[in-house]
Amino acid sequence: MSRMPKSSRLRQLRGLPEGLGTTLHYLWRRRVTVDYPERQRPVAERFRGLHILDRYDDGLERCVGCELCQAACPAHCITVEAAENPPDHPFSPGERYGYRYEIDLLRCIFCGFCEEACPTGAIQLTPRHDLVGFSRQDFQVDREWLLVPDPRTETLAEEGAR
Amino acid sequence: MSDSAPAPQLVNVTIDGAPYAFPKGTLLVDAVRQVGHPVPFYCYHEKLKPAGACRVCMVQMESPRGPMIVTSCTTPVGEGMQIQTMSDGAREARRQVLEFLLINHPLDCPVCDKGGECDLQDFTLRYGPGVSRFAEPKIHRMKAHELGPFLVLDQERCILCQRCVRYEDEVLGEQNLVLHGRGDGTVIDTTRGEPYAGHFSGNNTELCPVGALTSQTYRFKARPWDLRPTPSVCQGCSLGCNITVQRRGAEIVRLLARENAAVDGGWLCDRGRYGFGTVRADARLTAPQVRRDGQLVATSWDAAIDAVRQGLTLHGQRGIAVLGGARLTDEEAYLLGRLTRAVLRSNDLDWRTGAQRFAAPEAIGCHSAQVTDIDAADLIVIVDTPVGEEVPVLALRLRRAAARAGIVDIGPERNLTVGRAERVACAPEDLAEAVRGLTVRVAEAKMPLVVWNGSGDGELARAVAKLGAPLLVPGEFANARGAEAAGLLPDLLPGYRSMAEAAAVSEAWGGGPLPVKPGRAAAAILEAAARGDLGALYLVGSNPLGTFPDGTLAARALDTIPFLVVQDLFATDAAVHADVVLPALGPFEKTGHVTNLAGVRQEVQAVAPGPAGARSDLDIFVALAGALGATLPATAAAVASEQQALGRAEKPAMVTVLDRFTSGPHEIDGLRLLVRTQLYAGGGTAAFDPNLHVVRGEPRLRIHSTDATALGLRSGQFVIAEGDGASMRAVIELDDGLEPGYVAFGAHTPGANRMGQRVRLVLAGENGLASTVPVAAMGVNRR
Ligand code: SF4
Ligand code: SF4
Ligand code: SF4
Ligand code: SF4
Ligand code: FES
């Protein structure tokens, strides 16, 4: 180990009160961090976070499986497959619904093109951004994960609880 | 057009300011497109006559009275014409037409199968108005209207271009789809609202420029941008129509026609277009099976190949015979020949497990005709070949020819069901006589052509050969011609070599002696097996129980044979008798070549992996040879080059067509029983294809209406045909194309070839049980 010249040792000593000064200075200023996740910062009104698949007010799914979101997605992370609506319990209005809907959220760049392409307003990006998981599979979300709760079954469940 | 035709007269036209010359008679729409100016069109189609129905193809033409807007699809080019394709007038006219087309259009694009490849979308985007001024409520019509087993119609999306109507009329001559109503109530539907019954409905889905006519099998399966195309060839029949196989991921979702003017003319039949369900059929064999303690149990490939080796060693000295091969690729057929002769050392080898006796016209001393010769022929003789059921797309060409050429249609039933033809009704045994009767007419014709499926005896073959006209042999198996050329015959080596050339072939096969004594043909093999004179039988993609004319003999043979190996896609009724079952890959799963009925060699592509446990026939032959201590070339390419190097014999030998079927004519209640090819009845794969399940239906018994009346039978009634050998339930179908005195079952209908000599019809009761009254009690008796 080489010996330091005297002058630089003095400079090092000077650093200690300088640093403590910075600490003391910020100690009395307003905090910018929040107690995430108990408290959350508000996000911009048009923030693009995690997706949902929306429903109409009567509970029918909006997605008709047209694959336009899949075609628009620059990250190629959406997979849609359509099927014929069962006539006695249709999933969506009309002949066709999206029976398979998957997004690989790890590949998604949250550009919102899917939302823009969708003719029925089914796929939407919400302000939610808690994108966490323990494995890659956790980020491959499917139709069940994406679909918002069905108001019909919701009400039933609530009534049952009462 | 022949070479000597004078050069067509040229007409000078100015298009968007540039001068061009076109042959006289060219339609403006073609002229404009040829020089690269886009012009939209809906009703116009190259293969249909111009109709001028949609008015979207308008261009501006200068005339003495000022600029005129004309429909380019109905206007031929004229000398000095001045055409503007993008003038304000032309653009405005198209814009208005498109606005009109859309006033009642549902704008279903997100749920419409055509979305992404729809001319209405594309042209509206390019030429149409951005917004509609039409605020009134739209008229609603039938949606998702199932027209037939394969076709779905959305009447709201129809733009009434009438391509479908004109195709039905001009190409099929069937008028299955027509216009109903008038004004804004005009819709497309079947003539009387009945289910669409033709064999060519699928072409409508390619013709329809919008999403009005779509396929049931493709419904909501994919978007055009999901699809990966592979060119291939249909293996549904011996014509080999060219197709584009479209896959989404690993799944085949639809087949499209890929026009080859020399083969298919751009059309497909429904069996070809929709018969790709075998690839994912649940019934596919997925593992080799070996019989242990009387039960077939699944096993590994090594164990199965070893079981075959043991069985062949144990029973081989009493003879080994191989039947089938007409559904393989050329390469596989060739390898099967080499395996049988060089490794199994047997000449008991025959692809002819059906009624067809030969495949190449040269094999009986005729000239091969090309498919396009039909378009030029002035006399076409159809000898007892139900062309519409056997080679459907070829029948379309014959229907078109019928408008121009003389067609002589010989046999106990009408072979050409649509189109003008001269009928020569005769019994199966009188066919040769009837053919001989045409000698003079054929000799006098400028371009005669004979169409015969090769099912008959040596006498008929000689009579046909004697006519001296080019011959087309539309047989029942997809690659019979390839199998024949590969030498899957008891007395011919590859390339139509006689047994005398065995030395040359043996050399190409790496030395080793080949058996030189000609082997036995299919009938003799089955007879030997039934007698107990054969040790082992190897069925490769063939099921004599279903296809051999004498099914009783086939059944006895399979019952008696000590060791039976069945190599197939499905557990056929032959596989039930097997000692070893080897699961094979089928159409869409193998790469190689197939040879069509006119000798055109075409490439087929593997587009699906097939069941995990199945192997290609080629791989199986190689493994089998390996187990028996021989090495065969292991890739299709290597086999093809070996086969090419071997080539054809300088003087091709002829196929022996002497078999006279011992079973003789069958009779039902004094009516004669015919077993005729029927498109969806079965065969190797169609019987197991879930896509075709909807059209297969009940076995049908066709009968002339006068006979039906005499017997008190109604259309749709169930009967049980009871024979000595088998009985079967069938539904009566009245068919006046059949001569009186005959009844006909579809070939490959289980049991149809096993009925024996005497058959009687019994009415089936409500509960499906036979009532006790034989129909013959009311009897007609003929012959
Ligand atoms: S936000 Fe963008 S990247 Fe993510 S799924 Fe939608 S289109 Fe794809
Ligand atoms: S989410 Fe929208 S764009 Fe995507 S398939 Fe469903 S309907 Fe079509
Ligand atoms: S026919 Fe064409 S324009 Fe009409 S709904 Fe279908 S895709 Fe859209
Ligand atoms: S169904 Fe299709 S092809 Fe037929 S008239 Fe309508 S748009 Fe034209
Ligand atoms: S394409 Fe010319 S009128 Fe339809």
CATH number at residue B557: 3.40.50.740
Q: Measure in Å the smallest separation between the Cα of A118 and chain B Cα atoms.
A: 9
Last residue of a domain, one of B472, B496, B529: B472
Q: In terms of domains, do B599 and B562 share one?
A: yes
pLDDT score, position B269: 96
Lowest mean pLDDT among A135-139, B142-146, B712-716: B712-716
- Looking at the domain assignment, is residue B160 inside a domain? yes
**CB contact, 8 Å: A129 with chain B?**
no
Do B625 and B631 meet the contact criterion of CB atoms below 8 Å apart? yes
Specify which residues B12 forms β-bridges with: B21
pLDDT band at B6 (very low <50, low <70, confident <90, very high): low
Q: In terms of domains, do B425 and B306 share one?
A: no
B chain contacts of residue A71, beta-carbon cutoff 8 Å: 223, 225
pLDDT band at B150 (very low <50, low <70, confident <90, very high): very high
One-character DSSP codes across B182-236: -GGG-EEEETTSPPP--S-TTHHHHH-SSSSEEETTTTTT--GGG-EEEEEE--S
Q: Which ligand is nearest to the CA of B55?
A: 5
Do A63 and A97 meet the contact criterion of CB atoms below 8 Å apart? yes
Last residue of a domain, one of B450, B472, B494: B472
Do B547 and B748 meet the contact criterion of CB atoms below 8 Å apart? yes
Statement: residue B17 has pLDDT above 60: yes
Q: Is the CB of A146 under 6 A from ligand 2?
A: no
- What mean pLDDT is reported for chain A? 89
Token digits for B653?
């030998």
Q: What is the mean pLDDT of residues B61-81?
A: 94
- Looking at the domain assignment, is residue A157 inside a domain? no
Statement: residue A125 has pLDDT above 90: yes
Q: Is the CB of B151 under 6 A from ligand 4?
A: no
pLDDT score, position B779: 32
The CA distance from A63 to B314, in Å, is 64
CATH number for the domain harbouring residue B456? 3.40.228.10
Q: In terms of domains, do B631 and B503 share one?
A: yes
Q: What is the mean pLDDT of residues B250-269?
A: 95
The CA distance from B683 to B548, in Å, is 11
Q: In terms of domains, do B560 and B576 share one?
A: yes
A chain contacts of residue B143, beta-carbon cutoff 8 Å: 95
Q: Is the CB of B179 under 6 A from ligand 3?
A: no
Domain ranges, residue A58: 51-151
What is the signed CA dihedral for B497, B501, B506, B507, rounded to 10 degrees? -110
Residues of chain B with pLDDT > 90, as a percent, come to: 77
Per residue in B545-602, pLDDT (tens digit) is 988 888 889 999 999 999 999 999 999 989 999 999 999 999 999 999 999 999 999 9
B chain contacts of residue A64, beta-carbon cutoff 8 Å: 110-111
User: Taking phi first (over 0 means left), then psi (-120 to 50 degrees means alpha), and beta for anything else, what does residue B345 get?
Assistant: left
CB contact under 8 A, B110 and A68: yes
Q: In terms of domains, do B428 and B325 share one?
A: no
- Looking at the domain assignment, is residue A9 inside a domain? no
- For A139, residues 6+ apart whose C-beta sits below 8 A from its C-beta are A104, A105, A106, A131, A133
Q: In terms of domains, do B352 and B366 share one?
A: no
Nearest to A95 among B109, B111, B226 (CB): B111
Q: Which of B101, B153, B205, B210 to mutate to test the pocket of ligand 3 (most atoms within 8 A of CB)?
A: B210
The CA distance from A52 to A69, in Å, is 13
Q: In terms of domains, do B762 and B705 share one?
A: yes
Strand order in the sheet with A140-141: A78-84, A96-104, A140-141
CA distances from residue B189 to A3, A154, B181, B424, B634 in whole angstroms, order as listed: 100, 44, 10, 36, 53
User: Taking phi first (over 0 means left), then psi (-120 to 50 degrees means alpha), and beta for anything else, what does residue B679 get?
Assistant: alpha
Nearest to B110 among A66, A83, A84 (CB): A66
Among all residues of chain A, which has the CA nearest to that of B108? A94
- Looking at the domain assignment, is residue A1 inside a domain? no
CB contact under 8 A, B225 and A96: no
Q: Is the CB of B212 under 6 A from ligand 4?
A: yes
Q: In terms of domains, do B343 and B492 share one?
A: yes
Lowest mean pLDDT among A33-42, A90-99, B257-266: A33-42
Q: Which of A69, A107, A108 to mutate to test the pocket of ligand 1 (most atoms within 8 A of CB)?
A: A108
Token digits for B217?
């099998």
CATH number for the domain harbouring residue A76? 3.30.70.3270
Q: In terms of domains, do B399 and B421 share one?
A: yes
- Looking at the domain assignment, is residue A104 inside a domain? yes
CB contact under 8 A, B110 and A84: no
Q: Is the CB of B161 under 6 A from ligand 4?
A: yes
Q: Measure in Å the smallest separation between the Cα of A84 and chain B Cα atoms.
A: 7
CB contact under 8 A, A119 and B110: yes
- Looking at the domain assignment, is residue A127 inside a domain? yes
- Looking at the domain assignment, is residue A13 inside a domain? no
Nearest to B144 among A64, A71, A95 (CB): A95
- CA B181-B183-B187 angle, to 5 degrees, is 45
CB contact under 8 A, A64 and B144: no
B chain contacts of residue A95, beta-carbon cutoff 8 Å: 111, 143-144, 220
A chain contacts of residue B219, beta-carbon cutoff 8 Å: 84
Q: Which ligand is nearest to the CA of A110?
A: 1
Q: Is the CB of B147 under 6 A from ligand 4?
A: no
pLDDT score, position B775: 44
CB contact under 8 A, A68 and B143: no
Distance in angstroms between the alpha carbons of the first and the last residue of chain A? 77
pLDDT score, position B684: 66
pLDDT score, position B40: 96
Spacing, Cα A135 to ligand 1 middle (Å): 20
**CB contact, 8 Å: A75 with chain B?**
no
pLDDT score, position A3: 62
Nearest to A95 among B143, B223, B225 (CB): B143
- CA-nearest of B477, B474, B336 to B415 is B474
Among all residues of chain A, which has the CA nearest to that of B226? A71
Q: In terms of domains, do B583 and B485 share one?
A: yes
pLDDT, greater one: B632 or B683: B632
Per residue in A1-57, pLDDT (tens digit) is 456 666 777 777 888 898 999 999 998 898 888 898 898 888 998 999 999 999 999
Nearest CA to ligand 4 atom 3: B208
Q: In terms of domains, do B367 and B449 share one?
A: yes
Per residue in B487-511, pLDDT (tens digit) is 999 999 999 999 999 988 998 898 7
Among all residues of chain A, which has the CA nearest to that of B222? A81
Domain ranges, residue B533: 290-358+480-646
- CA B412-B170-B267 angle, to 5 degrees, is 80
CATH number for the domain harbouring residue B748? 2.40.40.20
The domain total for chain A is 1
**CB contact, 8 Å: A67 with chain B?**
yes
Q: In terms of domains, do B532 and B635 share one?
A: yes
Last residue of a domain, one of B408, B438, B472: B472
- Looking at the domain assignment, is residue A114 inside a domain? yes
pLDDT, greater one: B773 or B86: B86
The length of chain B is 783
CB contact under 8 A, B115 and A66: yes
Tell if the pTM clears 0.95, that is, is over it.
no
pLDDT score, position B656: 76
Q: Please give the ipTM for the structure prediction.
A: 0.84
Q: Which ligand is nearest to the CA of B105?
A: 3
CB atoms within 10 A of CB A51: 25
B chain contacts of residue A83, beta-carbon cutoff 8 Å: 220
pLDDT score, position B654: 81
Q: What is the mean pLDDT of residues B606-616?
A: 95
Spacing, Cα B556 to ligand 2 middle (Å): 60
- Looking at the domain assignment, is residue B536 inside a domain? yes
Do B283 and B571 meet the contact criterion of CB atoms below 8 Å apart? yes
Specify which residues B202 forms β-bridges with: none
Token digits for B574?
């032959």
- State residue B679 phi and psi, 5-degree precision: -50, -50
The domain total for chain B is 6
In three-state secondary structure terms, B730 is strand
- For B562, residues 6+ apart whose C-beta sits below 8 A from its C-beta are B315, B318, B535, B536
- CA-nearest of A159, A60, A68, A143 to A113 is A68
- Looking at the domain assignment, is residue B764 inside a domain? yes
Q: What is the mean pLDDT of residues B386-406?
A: 94
Nearest to A66 among B111, B144, B219 (CB): B111
Q: Which residue do the tokens 């002949």 mark?
A: A95
Distance in angstroms between the alpha carbons of the first and the last residue of chain B? 49
- Looking at the domain assignment, is residue A37 inside a domain? no
Strand order in the sheet with B228-233: B228-233, B242-248, B251-257
Q: Which of A108, A118, A145 to mutate to test the pocket of ligand 2 (most atoms within 8 A of CB)?
A: A118
Nearest CA to ligand 3 atom 7: B115
Q: Is the CB of B158 under 6 A from ligand 4?
A: yes
Nearest CA to ligand 1 atom 7: A73
